Structure 1
Amino acid sequence: MRAYWAFTKKELMESAATYRLLILVCIFLLFGVMNPLIAKMTPQLVKEFMPAGMQMVLPEPSAVDSWMQFFKNVGQIGLAVLAILFSGMIAGEIQKGTLVLMVTKGLSRTTVLCSKFTVSVLLWTVSYVFCVGITYGYTVYFWNADEIKNLMPALLGVWLFGVLLLASDLLGSVLSKSSYTSLLFTGGLVAVMFLVNIVPKVQKYNPIRLVSEPSGLISGSLKLSGFYTAFAVTGGMILMFLLLSVLVFRKKQL
């Protein structure tokens, strides 16, 4: 356990030194400010750039629009940034040769994986909480948020999908010696999810629902009970990826 905490501390310090933490927090803080502001200003911008003489009745922006903007920005750009930043969790250590030295001195490979995954989830969680908090504050300031439904489950779904991407990055990094291959592995996983989602009978099991349909949850057009299976499958995939990472990494030649 002492080795786990020591390696985790080392990973946290390295994340700060390499500006990974700073980049992640800054991007999600920016999203937190942008989400409600874009929802607030969009109707005005549309009117400004509308051709002369043309009239269009636009609905007044609401708290729902702010959170829809949140799920659009974070669920697409934010998660892509997350996957890119952590794509070389193990591959980078192998390429630098630092991991070989630590393992030969008795550091458990399982400890390495657990520490890497813990730090990545921690940084993702901190950045995500900042983004949610800022979006929530501005949304409550501009609008009445009483109309929002199932906000916490919708937010939890996006966070859980982010953890799934991190677990996929970890497995991809273990399977290869390149961060690019790891990123392709995660990108391929997401692409398969989108393709499988075409089949109606499979949709309720697909983790991609957690990031593609949260707007339906907060608007009330979709029921929360329809997402329970997707939550369970996502959790199961995370555990499976972590287990596979441990099994593969134990036999991997460094």
Structure 2
Amino acid sequence: MTGYGAFVKKEFMEFYRSHKLLIILAVFLLLGMMNPLTAKITPQLVENFMPEGMIVNLGEPTALDSWMQFYKNVPQLGLVVLVILFSGMMSQEYSKGTLINMLTKGLARRSVILSKLTVALVMWTAAYVICTGISWAYTAYFWKGEILHDLFSAAVLVWIYGILLLAVGLFGSVLCKNAYGNLLITGGFVGVQFLLNIIPDAIKYNPLALVSRNMELIEGSLKFEELLFPIAVSAGLAIAFVIAACAVFNRKTL
């Protein structure tokens, strides 16, 4: 495990030096603040920009509106930033040729893949916890006393889906020698899930439910048990993609 630990340390240092750490934290920090603030001021903005004499009654914003913004912005913006930041996990190593010396000195190829995955998971978890924590704190401050159900469960679903995207990205990064190919693979993977939603029998297994049905869970119209199939499929796919990444990298010529 010495080689694994050393490579993890190297990856963290490179993530810091390339300013990716600053970018991911800044983006998710901004998203965390933006969700409740957007929900709070939207009615006022609409009222101010409406033509004189026209009246639109949007009603008072609620905590539910804040979390609605959260589950719109984080999957659409946050996960896109996450995928882009980690799209070059292996392509930089290929282009610089830095892995050749390390592998000839005895570093296991499996350790390279697991190190990349570890750093990605830690960064994603830290950024997402910050984002969720800030959104929760602001929402609790603006809408004191409002009780919502399954907030934690709904938040965990997005975290799981982020892990799945990182696993797909890792596989794509091993398979392709540039970040663009990796982005195409990840984008294609998500696109297939949208197409699967057309098939009624496939909906209850589709991992896309983890980022599209969160509000139903919070509103109480959906039970957490109904999402166990998408969770299991997501976990299985994530493990399969990591195993596939290790298998492909073991046979890959550097």
TM range (shorter): over 0.9
**1:144 match:** 144
**Cα distance in structure 2, aligned partners of 1:234 and 1:145:** 35
Between 147-156 and 11-20, the greater mean CA deviation after superposition: 147-156
* Deviation sequence 1:140-180 (CA, Å, 0-9, x none): 00003643111111101101101111000100011111111
**2:42 match:** 42
Matches within 5 A, 1:1-254: 1-144=1-144, 146-254=146-254
**Cα distance 1:88–1:57, how it changes in 2: closer, same or farther (>3 A)?**
same
Runs of 4+ in 1 over 2 A off after TM superposition: 144-147
The Cα shift of 1:78 comes to: 0.5
State the aligned residue count.
Answer: 254
TM-score (norm 1): 0.98
TM-score (norm 2): 0.98
Three-state SS of the structure 2 residue aligned to 1:77 is helix
Task: Give the counterpart letter for 2:149 in structure 1.
Answer: K
8 Å contact from structure 1 (residues 128, 159) kept in 2 = yes
8 Å contact from structure 1 (residues 125, 159) kept in 2 = yes
RMSD of aligned Cα (Å): 0.9
8 Å contact from structure 1 (residues 161, 234) kept in 2 = yes
Three-state SS of the structure 2 residue aligned to 1:205 is coil
Percent identity (aligned): 52
The Cα shift of 1:193 comes to: 0.5
Name stretches of at least 5 consecutive residues in structure 1 with no aligned partner: none
**Cα distance in structure 2, aligned partners of 1:173 and 1:104:** 21
Name stretches of at least 5 consecutive residues in structure 2 with no aligned partner: none
